[in-house]
Chain A
Amino acid sequence: MGTETLVPPKASRQAIFWQRFHRMDEAKFGVLLLSPTILILVIFLVIPILYAIAMSTQQVELTISPDWKFIGLANYTGLLSDNRVLDSIPRTLYFAFFTILVSTTLALVLALILNEPFRGRQIVRVLVLLPWAVAPVVSGVMWRYIFHPRYGLMDAILYSLGFIKQYIVWFDDPTVSLSIASLATAWKGVPFLTLIMLAAMQSIPESLFRAAKMDGANVLQRFRYVTLPHLRSILIFIIVLQTIVSLQVFDLIYTLTRGGPGEGTVVLNFLTYLNAFERLSLGKASAMAILLAVFIIVLSGISLSFTVQRRQKV
């Protein structure tokens, strides 16, 4: 029986539409399903990116005039002589470095602990996930209350234990403030990093540990020679991931310190926000954002190539 006999001689338009729909080849059907997503991403992602790139070559100072003026790469070269930008770079690097150090170390230790059997492990696994779900804005509020000079938990504990005679005003010092911001970022990041690390640890074959044990390796040696080599690529992945996250910190700073004391915690991304929405220098802010984006995409490219390598090895 040929297929043409299935088509009624006078098919309605609708019927023809459905017939075509069902006979569409795979590729066309796939493109059809993808098209709403592609449409959304083009309008609200691709076009805004191109717009931002265009804007970064213009002088747009809304406090002076609503007009745009093409100035080429002057916004980018101007960043090199902008003192606020230059001051924010060491802060950003310190913040990123400290965040990566704390979060990676804590995640590694926590993953090692959670990989050991102990009573109550299930409930601990659930509890340590909690910070992941807390919004950065709220975690900023929480850590503000931990280090608050009048009702901070940290001061209260130190005072009660007799370490200090007077409450310390933590947020008076820019470095201390930045470190607290790092701690808060690490606090939120650790659960996720622990999960990925734990998944990697559980994929290490048990037989390797047994073999190492038989050869007389102690706990530390087993960690050094069995666990760590297997975690190498995931550690690199995690460090890059945390770099990307910490370079983009904004919400947390907004409620934790608002950039204070003075401009002590104004990191690069926060300065971009200030330039855009307080000074209304849209051209310059776009240039800063684009530079950060380029840097992050390059970093991601590196991390991705590591991940792909890892997959091919397995």
Chain B
Amino acid sequence: MQMRSLRWARPTLLYALVALFLLWTLAPVLWIFVMSVQPEINYVAVPPQLNLQQVSLRWFWEMLSQQDIRDALRNSLIISFMTMVFCLFFGALAAYPLSRLNMPRKNLFLTLSIMARMIPSMVLIIPLFLLMRDLHLLDTYMALIITYSTFLLPYVIWMMKNFFDQIPYSLEAAARMDGCSRLGAIFRILLPSIAPGVVATAIFAFIGAWNEFLFGLILSTRNSMPIMVKISALVSASFHTDNSLVAATGVLAILPVVVLVFVLNRYIVRGLVEGVKF
């Protein structure tokens, strides 16, 4: 008797918990999405009167027709993409010797790079602001690309090192035997054979740069302002603006990374787990 009732209760409990977790995970995202396709009057009503017939994308078009929003989105895309390329190139170059070669003080470098991951960005922001000012790089893409690469590189190196570690040494030896140069072996043999790892690392670097806020806030004023800084300015002024517009900008700001998560989910999961292995 008891067994039978338990057999019925267990999946029910499981599905109830799954439903609760989905609600907790998705509610904030869905609510901002609903707000972005409904006129403000509908959700200001007590209780909200959501109307399917009034669903409209016009708040998206309105935001996208504004020059500063388009610029911010483009800035974020360029900066994140360049950061990703930068991180992959220098990360691969650095991860290879750390994984493969016999070097003195290799472990010292690895330990230091873990410590570098722990430095709060608040420590760096004042000196970096002064440094970028002296280099005349304030409000340029370069300032943000360099800054983001600097704090993402220690992660990227660890991830790539862990991926390199999984490739048998013989593969590389065979390539060298066939006349491949040392650099050629890295870029033509090793990197392609850890392709899923490279994809994971690339997504990680892209999302890291796309989502960053503090450095963008301090190191850019207009020309290189990323979308995250733009949206924080919109929120501050939201007493006067239509909240559907703020919500639409929020949706636009997370759209690229959400698409990445859904399309390249497998790679991300592997990459994240590799990233914390020391």
**A residues at B contact (CB < 8 Å):** 22, 26-27, 29-31, 33-34, 36-37, 40-41, 44-45, 47-49, 51-52, 55, 106, 109-110, 113, 116, 118, 120, 124-146, 150-151, 153, 156, 159-160, 167, 187, 190-192, 195-196, 199, 244, 247-248, 250-251, 254-255, 258, 269, 272-273, 276-277, 282, 285-286, 288-290, 292-293, 296-297, 300, 304, 307-308, 311
B93 contacts chain A at the CB level, 8 A cutoff: yes
Question: In the complex, which residue of chain A has the Cβ closest to the Cβ of B125?
Answer: A276
Residues of B within 8 A of A41 (CB): 113, 116, 150, 153-154
B88 contacts chain A at the CB level, 8 A cutoff: no
Question: In the complex, which residue of chain B has the Cβ closest to the Cβ of A26?
Answer: B101
Stretch of B55-63, B64-72, B194-202, B245-253 on the interface side: B245-253
User: For chains A and B in complex, what number of residue pairs have CB atoms within 8 angstroms?
Assistant: 262
B122 contacts chain A at the CB level, 8 A cutoff: yes
> Chain A nearest CB: distance from B14 CB in Å?
6
Question: In the complex, which residue of chain B has the Cβ closest to the Cβ of A247?
Answer: B120
Among B104, B125, B253, which residue has the most Cβ atoms of chain A within 10 A? Answer: B125
A–B complex contacts, Cβ < 8 Å, 5 sampled: A130-B25, A137-B213, A142-B29, A273-B122, A289-B122
Among A132, A133, A199, which residue has the most Cβ atoms of chain B within 10 A? Answer: A133
| Interchain CA distance A116-B126 in the complex, whole Å | 48
CB <8 Å contact, B258 and A130 = yes
CB <8 Å contact, B22 and A48 = no
CB <8 Å contact, A130 and B232 = no
Residues of A within 8 A of B120 (CB): 247-248, 269, 289, 292-293, 296
CB <8 Å contact, B109 and A34 = yes
CB <8 Å contact, B21 and A113 = yes
B128 contacts chain A at the CB level, 8 A cutoff: yes
CB <8 Å contact, A27 and B104 = yes
Indicate with 1 or 0, residue by residue over B1-26, a CB within 8 angstroms of chain A CB atoms: 00000000001001101100110111
CB <8 Å contact, A138 and B254 = yes
CB <8 Å contact, A133 and B260 = yes
Please classify the interface of chain B as helix (H, G, I), strand (E, B), loop, or mixed, using the class held by over half of its residues.
helix
Residues of B within 8 A of A33 (CB): 93-94, 96-97
> Chain A nearest CB: distance from B101 CB in Å?
4
Q: Which of B235-270 contact A (CB under 8 A)?
A: 235-236, 243, 246-247, 250, 253-254, 257-258, 260-262, 265, 268-269
Interface residues contributed by chain B, number (CB under 8 Å): 91
Residues of B within 8 A of A167 (CB): 46
| Interchain CA distance A131-B21 in the complex, whole Å | 12
Decide: A27 near B103, CB < 8 A? Known: A22-B182, A124-B18, A146-B31. Answer: yes
| Interchain CA distance A138-B247 in the complex, whole Å | 10
> Chain B nearest CB: distance from A308 CB in Å?
7
CB <8 Å contact, B278 and A308 = yes
Among B28, B96, B118, which residue has the most Cβ atoms of chain A within 10 A? Answer: B28
CB <8 Å contact, A109 and B17 = yes
Decide: A296 near B101, CB < 8 A? Known: A40-B90, A55-B127, A126-B265. Answer: no
Residues of B within 8 A of A140 (CB): 235
Decide: A300 near B115, CB < 8 A? Known: A116-B14, A142-B28, A285-B126. Answer: yes
Decide: A250 near B214, CB < 8 A? Known: A34-B109, A138-B250. Answer: yes
Please classify the interface of chain A as helix (H, G, I), strand (E, B), loop, or mixed, using the class held by over half of its residues.
helix
CB <8 Å contact, A49 and B123 = yes
CB <8 Å contact, A49 and B31 = no
Decide: A118 near B103, CB < 8 A? Known: A29-B182, A37-B94, A55-B127. Answer: no
Q: Which of B211-225 contact A (CB under 8 A)?
A: 211, 213-214, 218
Question: In the complex, which residue of chain B has the Cβ closest to the Cβ of A60?
Answer: B126
B44 contacts chain A at the CB level, 8 A cutoff: yes
| Interchain CA distance A69-B157 in the complex, whole Å | 40
CB <8 Å contact, B124 and A45 = yes
Residues of A within 8 A of B123 (CB): 48-49, 52, 286, 289-290, 292-293
Top 8 nearest A-B pairs by Cβ distance? A30-B97, A48-B127, A135-B211, A142-B28, A51-B127, A37-B94, A30-B101, A44-B150
Residues of B within 8 A of A51 (CB): 127, 130-131
B276 contacts chain A at the CB level, 8 A cutoff: yes
> Chain B nearest CB: distance from A14 CB in Å?
15
Decide: A130 near B261, CB < 8 A? Known: A141-B32, A311-B278. Answer: yes
Residues of B within 8 A of A133 (CB): 207, 211, 254, 257-258, 260-261
Decide: A296 near B27, CB < 8 A? Known: A27-B103, A44-B146, A308-B278. Answer: no
> Chain A nearest CB: distance from B147 CB in Å?
7
CB <8 Å contact, A134 and B29 = yes
Indicate with 1 or 0, residue by residue over B100-139, a CB within 8 angstroms of chain A CB atoms: 0111101001000111101111111111101100000000
